[in-house]
Structure 1
C-alpha cells in the first residue's frame, strides 16, 4: 500500500505560483503546502499579461473568491473580447467576443446561415450579430442577464497585476499556505528522476512529495529533469515583446489589437505592448515607440510532459506562447485545476502523470492552433506575413482549415479553449470563406432566415441602449460594496 501525499512545494515568484499554492491548499486542506516565493521571472507572460480569458472567473469561484475581491477591490476591469484591426488590409476590423454569434434557428449553426446570406449579398458584418460585440463596441457592459439578448456571453478581466498578486498572496496566507522567501541555488534529482531537494541561496534546503514549478520559462525545477521542449516558432512568429506599464486608466471593454509590419500591438488600460518577430523588425524603431518598455524574449513551444516524476510544470515553465488571445494565465490555471483533480499519492503513479500530460498537450496545441490561425488567415503584404501564409500549418489546424474552407464546418477537438463561434469569428473576420454553402441551411428558407437575422439585430440594438457604460457599471458595483 502506497503512502498518501502529505507535502507540496510550489516554487515561483509571480501570480501563477500564488494561484497554485492557494488552490492546492484551499481544495486539499489536509496537505502541508509551502510556497517558496522567489523573485518573479520578468519573462513569465502568465504573470505579466494583464488581459485574461473568462476562465479566471470560474477559477476564482471554485476557490471561493468573490467578484468583490477579485475585481472591485483589486481594481480589475471587465473585458468582453478583442478588436482586431489591420489583420486583413482590405477588410474592416472585427470583434472576437466570448459570446454566441447570431441566434440559432433551424438545425444548423448560425454562421452557416450567415455564409449563405453573405453569398447572396445582404448579410451585415458577422460580429454585428453577436450581442457582446455590440455591447463592447458601444463601450457598455452588463454581466450575463437572463431574458435579454445578453444572456449567454462571458467575460474576462483586465487585471491590475500588482494588486491582484497581493490579493492572491493574502488569500494563500489566509487558507494556510506556509510562505518562505528565498532563491534556488541548486536542484537535486534522484535516481528515479524525482526532484529530491532544493538547495537555497544562503543555506538551507527544501523537499516535498510533490513539487510545482512556477518559475517561468527557466523552469528551474522541471528543467533540471530534462530539457525536452517542442518548438512552435515555425507557426508563431513573434519572438519578442515590449511591455510598458503606465498610469492606471480604465481599460477598454474590447481590447484593441492592431497588426503591423512585423507583428502586432495592444493596449489594455495601463498596460501597452508590442509583439514582433525580431528577424523582420526594426528593433530600434520599435524601441523608440516604447522607450520605457521591458523587452522580453519568447521561445514558443511546450513540454510534452509537464509532469514528470514528482515535478509538475505550470504556466511558462510548461508552455510559452505569445499573448495574442490572452491564453497565458488561462493555461496555467487550467493546469492547476487538473493537478488538483488528479492529485497523486506519494508513489506518483505514471498513469496519472500520463493523463495529465495528455490533456495539457491537447489543450495547449489547440491554443497554438487558434493563435496560429490569425497568421495563416492574415492578408498583409509584408515579408513576415507572407512567410506565415506560406508555412504549412500544424496538422490539427490544417484539418480545421480544410473543413471550414469546403463548406463551413468546424471540427471540435478535446480540450478546446475556444468555441466554434469564436473560431468562426476569426476565420470570417479575416476573410476566410467556404467554397460552397452547406446544403443543410436550405431547410430554412432564405427569406425566413433573413427575417430572423434582422429581428435579432434589432433586439440587440434596442437592448444596448438600456445598458450602462462599463465605467458606470463598475461605479455602481463599488457603491454597492461600500454600503
Structure 2
C-alpha cells in the first residue's frame, strides 16, 4: 500500500503554470503542498477558448469574470485562404441543427435538393441554415442562456482572451492563497535513480524538492525528450514554406491566415508518454500542435482536466501515469484531426498545398471524410474536442458533400419537408435579426 503524494512542484511560463496550479489547488487536499517556479518570457498571446469548456465550468468561471479580465467573445473562427487566395470560411462551434422527423437537417436538405435537381447547389443552400456561422460573420454575439428555447441554444461562444490576463484571474481568485510562488527558472532536474527526479536546481543555485515535478517549459531544441507521436501533416507543413498566422484581434473573430511563402511553421511534436516516474510534462513540454484553432492553449486545459481525473496520486504513480498517458494520446489525436482538416482538405492550386493533400491524413479524419462523403454520417470518437455539427459544417464548407442521404428522408411528402425547412430557416433569420452586435453585447459587462 502506497501513500498519497504530499507535494507538487510546477515550473514554466506563468501562462502555463497557473491553469494547472489552479485545478490542483481545487482538487488536492489542503495539506498537499503546491509550489510553482514561474517565468514570464513568452510574448503576449491571445487565444480563443470555448466558454463552455469543462475547465471554466469546473471553476465556475463565466462570461462576466472573463470580460472583467479583458476578454471579448466571438461565435466562430475565420479560415482565411485555405480554399484559395482571398477566400474566407467561418468555422463556428454549434450545437445540432434542428432535426426533422428525427433526421439531421443536412440529410433532409440533401433529399429536397436532389428532388429539385439542385444537388450542385447543396453547399450554397446549406449555408442559409448555419445559424452560428451566419451570426459570427455578421459580428453578432449572444449566449445560449439568453434564449434557451430559440436557435440561440445552438451557440458555442468563444472566449478571446490574453493568456497572461487569464493567468492573473486564476491566480488572484483561486490559487494565490494556496500556492507558493517563486520567480525563477529551473536549470536542471536532479535524478535519484533511473527516471525519478529528486530535486530541481534553479538558475540562481537554489534546490527545490517535491514528490511530483510538473514541467511546462517549451523544449529548447524544438522537440521534447522521449518517443514522439506521428503527426505527418503537421510535419509536412513545417517542411514547407506555408505559414499559418493567427490574429485573434483582427476583428470580431479570430482569424487564421494561410499563406504560401510565409515561412516555415514551428516544429510540431507530441510525446507518447509525458508522465514518466514522478515527472509529468504538460503543455509546451508535452506537445506543440500550432496556432490553428488555438490548439496548444486548448490542449493544456484538456490535459489539466485529464490530470484531475488521476488525482490524488499515490507515491508509486504507475496507475495514474498510465491513465494520464492514454488520455493525453487521445487528446493529441482529436486535436490533430481537427487542425489537419483544413490543411488536408485545402483547395489551393499551388504546389505546396497540393503536397499537403498528398499526405496521409490522421485515421480519425479519414474515417470522418469517408463516412460523410458516402452517406452524410459521422463516426463517434471518445474525447471529442468539437461537436458533431462543427464537423458537418466544416466538411461541407470544404466541399465534402454526401453522395446519398438517409433513405428515410425519401418516405416523406416533399411539401412537408419544404414547409419544415422553411419554418426552420424563418426561425434562424428571425433570431439572427434580433441578436446584438459584439459592441452591444459587451455593454452588459460595462466595456463596449
Determine if the TM-score, normalized by the shorter chain, exceeds 0.5.
yes
Distance 2:447 2:362 in 1: 50
| Contact 2:13 2:38 (8 Å CA) reproduced | yes
C-alpha distance in 1 between matches for 2:108 and 2:203:
63
1:321 Cα deviation from its structure 2 partner: 0.8
Q: State how far apart, in whole Å, the 2-side matches of 1:187 and 1:113 are.
A: 59
CA distance in 1, matches of 2:279, 2:52: 24
Paired with 2:350 and 2:33, the residues of 1 have a C-alpha distance of 54
- 1:37 match: 38
Matched, 1:88 2:88: no
| Counterpart Cα distance in 2 of 1:128 and 1:381 | 28
Aligned residue number for residue 231 of structure 2 = 232
Structure 1 regions of 5+ residues with no counterpart?
43-47, 263-275, 279-296
Counterpart check, 1:384 vs 2:352: yes
Q: Taking structure 1 as reference, are residues 41 and 207 closer, same or farther at Cα in structure 2, changes over 3 Å only?
A: farther
Aligned to 2:196: 194
Query: Structure 2 CA distance, aligned partners of 1:255 and 1:125?
Result: 26
Q: 1:150 to 1:65 in 2, by over 3 A?
A: closer
Instruction: Tell me how far apart the structure 1 counterparts of residues 358 and 313 of structure 2 sit (CA, whole Å).
Output: 48
What's the offset of the Cα at 1:472?
A: 1.2
Aligned to 2:418: 450
1:59 is aligned to: 55
What is the CA–CA distance in structure 1 between the aligned matches of 2:36 and 2:85, rounded to whole Å? 51
Q: What CA deviation, in whole Å up to 9, does each residue of 1:117-158 have, x standing for no partner?
A: 444416544343132222222211111121221113221111
**Per the alignment, in what secondary structure is the counterpart of residue 253 of structure 1?**
coil
Hey, what does 1:113 align to over in structure 2?
108
Q: SS in structure 1 opposite 2:143?
A: coil
Q: Residue 205 of structure 1: CA displacement?
A: 0.8
| Alpha-carbon distance, 1:342 to partner | 0.9
Return the alpha-carbon distance in structure 2 between the equivalents of residues 337 and 244 of structure 1. Answer: 25
State the superposition RMSD in angstroms: 2.9
Determine if contact 1:77/1:250 at 8 Å carries over to the other structure.
no
**Aligned equivalent of 1:424, options 381, 392, 400:** 392
TM-score by length of 2: 0.88
Normalising by structure 1, we get a TM-score of 0.82
Of 301-310 and 22-31, deviating more is: 22-31
Equivalent residues in 2 for 1:326-341 (5 A)?
326-341=294-309
The 2-side partners of 1:186 and 1:204 are apart by 11
Is residue 9 of structure 1 aligned with residue 5 of structure 2? no
- 2:128 corresponds in structure 1 to 128
Check conservation: 2:95, 2:389, Cα contact below 8 A.
Answer: yes
In the TM superposition, what is the alpha-carbon distance from 1:448 to its structure 2 partner?
2.5
Deviation string 1:80-100 (CA, Å, 9 cap, x unpaired) is 111334322499643221113
Q: CA deviation at 1:424?
A: 1.4
User: Partners of 1:244 and 1:342 in 2: how far apart?
Assistant: 33
Which stretch shifts more, 322-331 or 408-417? 322-331
